[in-house]
C-alpha cells in the first residue's frame, strides 16, 4: 500500500514555488498536502495530489522536471503519542526515514503522516503487522472529498 508523490527541484528564488501551484490551480487540481525541503540555494517540492498523472502532465508541459516516487501514508489518531508509536516500529526494523511530513483532514480526528523510508516495502509490512493503518492513494482521496 504505497502512494505516488510528485517532486520537483526548485531554485531558492522568489516566485519559484508559486508557479507550479498556479499551474495546478488553473488545471483544477487540488493539492492534498505538500512539503518543501530547502537549502540556502535550492529546494525540493514534494506534492500529494489526487490525480498525480494529470498533475505531472500539467507541470511537465510547462517545462518542469517532475519525479514520481512512492511514499507511505499512515493514519494515526491525532493525539499525543501517535507519531511516537510509528517511529518505534520503524526503529525496531532498523529502517531510516529519508523525510516525512504530516497533515490532518478537517472531518475526522486522524492525522496522516507521509513517509519516505529507505525501504518502503519493509516499512509497510512492519507497520501493518503492528496494526497501523497504511492508507493508499485512492482511499486518501476519497477521504479528502468528504
- Contact pick of 17, 21, 27, 44 for another protein (by CB under 8 A): 44
Under the binding rule (CB under 8 A), the answer on residue 37 touching another protein is yes
DSSP-derived 3-state class of residue 136? coil
Cβ atoms of residues 5 and 114 within 8 Å: yes
- Contact pick of 14, 15, 26, 41 for another protein (by CB under 8 A): 41
Q: Which stretch binds another protein (CB under 8 A): 9-17, 19-27, 72-80, 130-138?
A: 9-17
Give the nearer residue to another protein in terms of CB position, either 103 or 105.
103
Cβ atoms of residues 1 and 63 within 8 Å: no
Going by their DSSP bridges, the two strands 110-117 and 66-77 should be labelled as antiparallel
Q: Which of residues 58-117 bind another protein (CB under 8 A)?
A: 63-65, 67, 69, 98-99, 116
Q: How far apart are CA 58 and CA 52, in angstroms?
A: 10
Minimum CB distance to another protein, residue 48 (Å): 12
Under the binding rule (CB under 8 A), the answer on residue 53 touching another protein is no
Q: How far apart are CA 120 and CA 118, in angstroms?
A: 6
Minimum CB distance to another protein, residue 145 (Å): 26
**Cell digits for 90?**
520503524
Amino acid at each position: 500500500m504505497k502512494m505516488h508523490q510528485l517532486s520537483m527541484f526548485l531554485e531558492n528564488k522568489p516566485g519559484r514555488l508559486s508557479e507550479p501551484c498556479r499551474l495546478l490551480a488553473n488545471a483544477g487540481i487540488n493539492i492534498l498536502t505538500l512539503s518543501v525541503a530547502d537549502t540556502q540555494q535550492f529546494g525540493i517540492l514534494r506534492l500529494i495530489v489526487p490525480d498525480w498523472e494529470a498533475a505531472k502532465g500539467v507541470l511537465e508541459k510547462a517545462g518542469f522536471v517532475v519525479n514520481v516516487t512512492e511514499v507511505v501514508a499512515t493514519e494515526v489518531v491525532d493525539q499525543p503519542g501517535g507519531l511516537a508509536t510509528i517511529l518505534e516500529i520503524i526503529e525496531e526494523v532498523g529502517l531510516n526515514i529519508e523525510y516525512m511530513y504530516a497533515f490532518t483532514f478537517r472531518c475526522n480526528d486522524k492525522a496522516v503522516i507521509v513517509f519516505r523510508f529507505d525501504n518502503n516495502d519493509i516499512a509497510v509490512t512492519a507497520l501493518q503487522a503492528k496494526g497501523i493503518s497504511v492508507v493508499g492513494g485512492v482511499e486518501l482521496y476519497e477521504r479528502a472529498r468528504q
